[in-house]
Structure 1
Amino acid sequence: MRFVTYASAAGDDRVGLVDGDRVHGLEPGVTLLGLLESDGLDAAGERAQADPVETVDLDGLTLRAPLEPRSIRDCMGFLQHLRNCSAASDLELDERHHQFPVFYFSNPAAVVGPYDEVPISPNCRRFDYELEIAAVIGKPGATIPLDRAEEHIAGYMLLCDWSGRDLQMNEMALRLGPAKGKDGANTLGPMLVTPDEIEPFRSKNAFALNMTGYVNGELVSEGSWDTVDWGFPDMITYTSRGTRLRPGDVIGSGTVPTGCLFEHFAMDPDGFRGWLQPGDEVRLVVERLGELRQRIVPGVPAEPLSSGY
């Protein structure tokens, strides 16, 4: 099943089940987070298929982020991404990356929809995208065993972790963060795809599905989900260690190799195409999960601190 949240002609946002090129809308007031917390997606999908409140064309719909996540934990799943980013400094990958999938908490209040405009972070001159996949928790649990971890996944969707690279590097030099360098926007969407939809593509630690990224129509990023080193089962087992995951929590895969501009800058600074600018269009695609298509716009000016920063 594939679920979207869309702007209904009635003036509200509704959850719908995608059926081919049509969407079967559920009752007003229903949210995807609410469904995950209550009767689950199976019953909702059956209800939408059998007795929709409305049926509308998918083409032309204004899609929102599928859900408002409770939390976002973004992991380092693709180790080649880190190797590529370290190319300019000739640094070896820290051995601890082979022990556990390190992660940071991102900002659920900064989530935007799959076709929304994205403002550049205040004071940022090196704005970047990151092509990732998100797993959405549907079944709560704590200290989840590895062999049961996938039972807790309600579905998958694209994640773009928008990044202010200059801000990020300035913060992390102080051994804390990332903070404002990752605080401006996260894109989720365009739909939540249940695990059964992609099961035939299972491969290694993930699924053999292509991931591509374009800037103004130029192919910049190209990889495959099944090159991930840490799959979502390991990520769920680690992130749930000693704590509780809840329905609506989002786990990010980390960036697929070549899946951001910073990698290209690190590997070939002389041939680098440049950072994102107002007016640029970023299009990110993952097979079977859909695409994000967003235009970059100017951000708000920063309010100075007492230091002048």
Structure 2
Amino acid sequence: MNICLSIVVPTYQHPAALLLCLKALLVQSFDKNKYEIIVVSDGPDMATHQIVFDLIKSRPETPIITFCYLPYKKGRDAARNLGWQMAKGELVAFIDDDHVATADWAESFWMEHLKHEHESIVFIGNVNTSRVSLLDTSKNEVQPISASNCASTKTTLSKIKGFDEDFSRSWGDQNALHFKMLTSNVPFIQVEGATSFNAVRDVNWGINIWQSRQHVYKSKLFRSSSESIPWINYTIMTLLFAFTFVAWFWDLNPFALIALATWFLMVILLTIKRMENIIPSFTNIVEMMATSMFLPFLSIYWSLSSTFKLRILHLSRNKKKYESYFNSSDGIPASA
């Protein structure tokens, strides 16, 4: 069997979503004898292992499906790296476990690869959300490159040294992929037919704190973010809260009450600002109010703690090139 295309699916404890993803990959228009599916769990996961095993057992005529896992949780980029290093195909495509590919997804990547067979290129698919969740997705940041739907040859992946495993959080994979491509002078090509639908998961309580952490981390790394982080307001709010306790300790109760009232007013204003892109409901308002109380302190902490970890990238000679890419209007790297 001559495997031309390897499909790598990083996953971890999302068996239901993974099953939908795999079912779509098993009915691709691409020749079933010429592609394989490699499911890589980001750590031991018996439920996922069972899902894959049952699928192989029930459909023996389907393309080769391989399951492997990392010894401990290291992040999706680490799972992707293990997957492409195991791949037998000339071209390696990546899709996340919560994505459902269209029937011609694999075929589209392969046909585009044949046009540029001897070039170092990253092929980027289109990601569409299947429904609107708590956040108004029409106002969310649009990334021209996503590691959740892309493809490249093993030669190119070796050239850029794979995915950056330092970015263990899910937000960073597409941004790290940007940086890898630019520092290695690897362009990308958008493949219109390679479309996947992202099944937006239900938004849990406090998810806005998590998302804010992602934006803070990204802005520290790349000095570029679609979200303007109000550092001055956050600092003032933190100092007011700290002053409240100091004033109470020294029995300066009037000053403590003034500081606390000012802090609470700023919390209300921050909540109103953060509610601009949120579907209004009692639950959402209460959540925004609660998380807004902690957000300034956590943002400052995350910013300071990430400075040391990311200092090397701050000083990278490619920093200006990266910033010019993010500030461009068309979002196309200079090397493309």
Structure number with the higher strand fraction is 1
Larger radius of gyration: 2
Asked if TM exceeds 0.5, the reply is no
TM-score band, normalised by shorter chain: under 0.3
TM-score (norm: length of structure 1)? 0.24
Structure number with the higher helix fraction is 2
Structure with higher RCO (Cα < 8 A, 6+ apart): 1
